Amino acid sequence: MVGVFSKGQGRYMKKKFSGWMLVAMMLVGMIVGFQGRNLISADNIYEQLKKFQDILVLTDKYYVDPVETRMLTDGAINGMFDKLDPHSVYIPPRAFERTSEEMQGNYQGVGLSIRALNDTIIVVEPMGGGPAAKLGILANDRIVRINDSSAVGYTADQASKKLRGPKATKVKVGIARPGVQDLMTYEITRAEISLTSIDVAMMVNGETGYIAVNKFNQITNEEMVKNLRDLRSQGMKRLILDLRQNPGGIMEEAVKMADLFLDGGTKAKPKQIVYTKGRSADMEENYLASTGQEYEKLPVIVLVNNASASASEIVAGALQDWDRGLIVGETSFGKGLVQRQWPLGDGSAFRLTIARYYTPSGRLIQRAYEGKDKSEYQREAFERNEQEGDNLQHKKDASLKGDSSRPMFHTNSGRVVYGGGGITPDYIVKSPAATESFANLQRRDMFYQFVTSYLDGQANSLRSTYGQDMKKFVRTFPVSEELLGEFRSFVKTKGVTVEEKDIQKNLPYVKARVKAEIARSLWGNNGLYSVMLEVDVQFQKALTLLPEAAKFARAE
């Protein structure tokens, strides 16, 4: 789960700490937290550090088998974090490298989304505007050579390492394209590639814009403003903002997003977006909205679900508390802790919880975690027993499992909302529950694998028929009984068992997933979402509630 960084921590701190200093800091935290001391002497810090050092040295010298001391140190650090909250975490070097790229929003490479399938590297999507896309590399192409080496049998990570490199350097890629006999060779000049935090931004009808945000990194607000302006130029008069599955990210970017839709209030009553409280006053922040954004009266609905966390909950909570828009979907994860991130000298890092954050009404949305292991804590967010329907007065909140004692707060208009358990929607709409055998189709990635095989023979014909006309494809392409039969046969060849009654029960979704994967191959995420939103019950409910959201916008 991506943490929320406090002010200034989108940029990593320049000072780096050794593993030993980290151990010392964590020991201090444990002693303060679990022995109840307000102060601890430097002698005690180094006494605990000396104990750990003695154990590590003696283990390295006398253990019956050779030991890897780095592994032991990492294990000790992880053990210490297990005694803290669920979101304080140690990040090994390779994971930290990836996380840094995600948060910074860029890397240097060729701009290809790839995956390994049956020992072959397949292009899922060439990133728009990237060097690979400009040269004409297409979705479903197979990368069989990188420079002078065969790429057959590579994992996605291995291929990615070969394709990445400093900008302005070159890499040669051999492409096998279904329907083309000869190997195609491309020489790609690497460039700075933006890792977009917005999956899709498009008009879903003449007046309604839709934006799906997958995380909050350093370029999220920049992307958001650009996409809002593009949609406004296309006639957008209302917006559905999709924060489902968004685990969070940088706090300041969430504040900026909320501020796009909130005015600054008055001098006597300025509008707060979020505030934090920590053990140290240095860790406390108060973020206020400003007036002057062109979207402050735009009707907006925010979609959330149980995987919407952290920065996503800041946005949803601020708009809900100020009665600025409607929240639709399922109760969010419930992460109200702020982490600060410190890089370490060996390329690893750690995130430490330094504060709690609160919505404008005073809600701490963090779920209780004391006395629970991390798996139990994670699982609880997905096991709520929610009642569907109108929840504008939040009378359904009390029905949530284990939430009967949640503290009560009030929105700007006096509506009741509750703290201590995530952001509960104003309209609760559950995602349809899938049977186990049908869920297995998704876990085994059968839809993507089938469409990859299908496109080997049909991609050129589809491109010829539909060209750039995505709307025509969405409107007219049939998922016929013949195509469904091919899908059933393909699934059987992969040894995946699914009962026919399960396929029939989920038939609209099965057809949509097959069609959506084809559309993604041709038009990227715009194609995927254009199809899947038609069978998305939470999105469809949001469409019907837009007139209600307009009332909120006028009253605000």
Single out the catalytic residue among 335, 396, 511, 515.
335
Single out the catalytic residue among 141, 199, 259, 321.
321
pLDDT tops 70 at residue 7: no
Single out the catalytic residue among 194, 310, 332, 530.
310
3-state SS of 421-453 is CCCCCCEECCCCCCCHHHHHHHHCCHHHHHHHH
Please report where in the chains the tokens 């394709």 appear, as a residue.
163
Check the CA dihedral 431-433-436-438 and report its sign.
negative
pLDDT tops 80 at residue 22: no
Whole-number pLDDT of residue 193: 86
Active site residue 310: yes
Q: How confident is the model at residue 13 (pLDDT cuts 50, 70, 90)?
A: very low
Whole-number pLDDT of residue 180: 85
Half-sphere exposure of 495 (CA within 13 A, CB side): 0
Q: How confident is the model at residue 33 (pLDDT cuts 50, 70, 90)?
A: very low
Active site residue 233: no
Q: How confident is the model at residue 176 (pLDDT cuts 50, 70, 90)?
A: very high
User: pLDDT averaged over the chain?
Assistant: 88
Q: What is the mean pLDDT of residues 291-299?
A: 95
Rounded CA separation 497/519 (Å):
26
pLDDT, tens digit (0-9, with 9 covering 90-100), for 326-342 = 999 999 999 999 999 99
Whole-number pLDDT of residue 8: 41
pLDDT tops 60 at residue 465: yes
pLDDT tops 70 at residue 21: no
Active site residue 321: yes
Rounded CA separation 489/226 (Å):
45
Note whether 219 and 197 are within 8 A (CB): yes
Whole-number pLDDT of residue 106: 80
Q: How confident is the model at residue 405 (pLDDT cuts 50, 70, 90)?
A: confident
What long-range pairs does 518-523 form, CB within 8 A, spacing at least 24?
Answer: 518/451, 518/454, 518/455, 518/462, 518/477, 519/470, 519/473, 519/474, 520/125, 520/139, 521/139, 521/140, 521/451, 521/455, 521/459, 522/139, 522/462, 522/463, 522/466, 522/470, 522/473, 523/470, 523/473
Q: Which among 342, 313, 339, 457 has a CA at the least distance from the CA of 6? A: 339
Angle, helix 220-233 to helix 251-261, in steps of 10 degrees: 30
Tell me the three state secondary structure of residue 338.
strand
Predicted model pTM: 0.85
Residues in a beta bridge with 287: 274
Q: What is the mean pLDDT of residues 277-295?
A: 92
Rounded CA separation 492/479 (Å):
19
Tell me the percentage of the chain whose pLDDT exceeds 70.
91
In DSSP notation, 226-266 reads HHHHHHHHTT--EEEEE-TT---BBHHHHHHHHHHH---B-
Q: How confident is the model at residue 18 (pLDDT cuts 50, 70, 90)?
A: low
To which H or E segment does residue 555 belong?
Answer: helix 546-555
The pair phi, psi for residue 38, each rounded to 5°, is: -85, -30
134 vs 253, higher pLDDT = 253
Q: What is the mean pLDDT of residues 264-276?
A: 95
Q: What is the mean pLDDT of residues 360-381?
A: 92
520 vs 42, higher pLDDT = 520
Q: Which among 465, 468, 445 has a CA at the least distance from the CA of 116? A: 445
Q: How confident is the model at residue 200 (pLDDT cuts 50, 70, 90)?
A: very high
The one-letter amino acid at 340 = R
Rounded CA separation 78/72 (Å):
10
Exposure letters 434-450 (e unless 16+ CB within 10 A, then b)? eeeebebbeeeebbbbb
pLDDT, tens digit (0-9, with 9 covering 90-100), for 226-244 = 999 999 999 999 999 999 9
pLDDT tops 70 at residue 41: no
What percent of the residues of the chain are helix, what percent strand, and what percent coil, each to the nearest 5?
40, 20, 40
In DSSP notation, 111-164 reads -EEEEEETTEEEEEEEPTTSHHHHHT--TT-EEEEETTEE-TT--HHHHHHHH-
The pair phi, psi for residue 176, each rounded to 5°, is: -100, 120
Whole-number pLDDT of residue 142: 94
The one-letter amino acid at 328 = V
To which H or E segment does residue 339 belong?
Answer: strand 337-343
Q: Report how far apart, in Å, the C-alpha atoms of 211 and of each of 128, 243, 471, 509, 512 are.
A: 17, 9, 18, 22, 20
Note whether 175 and 144 are within 8 A (CB): yes
Residues in the chain: 556
Whole-number pLDDT of residue 181: 84
The domains located in the chain, with CATH, are 19-102 (no CATH), 106-194 (2.30.42.10), 198-337+354-433 (3.90.226.10), 436-540 (no CATH)
Angle, helix 481-493 to helix 507-523, in steps of 10 degrees: 90
Rounded CA separation 279/32 (Å):
11
Q: What is the mean pLDDT of residues 89-108?
A: 84
Whole-number pLDDT of residue 1: 39
